[in-house]
Amino acid sequence: MLQVKDFPLDHIGIAVKDLNQATERFRKLAEFMILAEEEVPSQQVVVRFLQHGEFKIELLKSTTPQSTIARFIDKRGEGIHHVAFRVKQIDHEMRRLREEGLEIIQDKPILGAMNKWIFFIHPRSMGGTLVEICQPVTQEK
């Protein structure tokens, strides 16, 4: 089995209907700051990152009724959509996780919000949890 030295939790993605209402909920919980907000047209979402200390939350709001986030909310309501882990060599990790038999949704890493390479592991492979793997574009793959 391969040893993974560095695989920190990067953020938790939460599907929401209203970014401001969701931000207010987390601000009641603790002093979350708005780190960034960005539209990701390829995924038909607007994402807003909240940060508290080292911990980040990615709020995902759909921009169309057909997006995966809109369908997720239709089916299950607002709530946790994915957990994301940060890696240092995303191409290598994609190969390794495929070799482990996990179902990877993308053929190769795609550009996500906040200038990161990302890919997703299908919830079928993870007991119902969608898992994102990400790496800042500024680091060499």
Binding site for Zn ion (CB under 5 A): 13, 58, 84, 132
User: Measured from the CB of residue 3, what is the shortest distance to Zn ion in angstroms?
Assistant: 25
Closer to Zn ion at the Cβ: 38 or 100? 38
Closer to Zn ion at the Cβ: 30 or 80? 80
Long-range contacts of 54-58 (CB under 8 A, 24+ apart): 55/11, 56/10, 56/11, 56/12, 57/11, 57/12, 57/13, 57/14, 57/26, 57/32, 58/11, 58/12, 58/13, 58/14, 58/84, 58/113
Closer to Zn ion at the Cβ: 77 or 117? 117
Per the structure block, which two tokens stand in for 2? 């391969």
User: Measured from the CB of residue 101, what is the shortest distance to Zn ion in angstroms?
Assistant: 23
User: Measured from the CB of residue 49, what is the shortest distance to Zn ion in angstroms?
Assistant: 9
Closer to Zn ion at the Cβ: 13 or 109? 13
Residue whose CB is nearest to Zn ion in the complex, by number: 13
Pairwise CA distance, residues 75 & 93, whole Å: 31
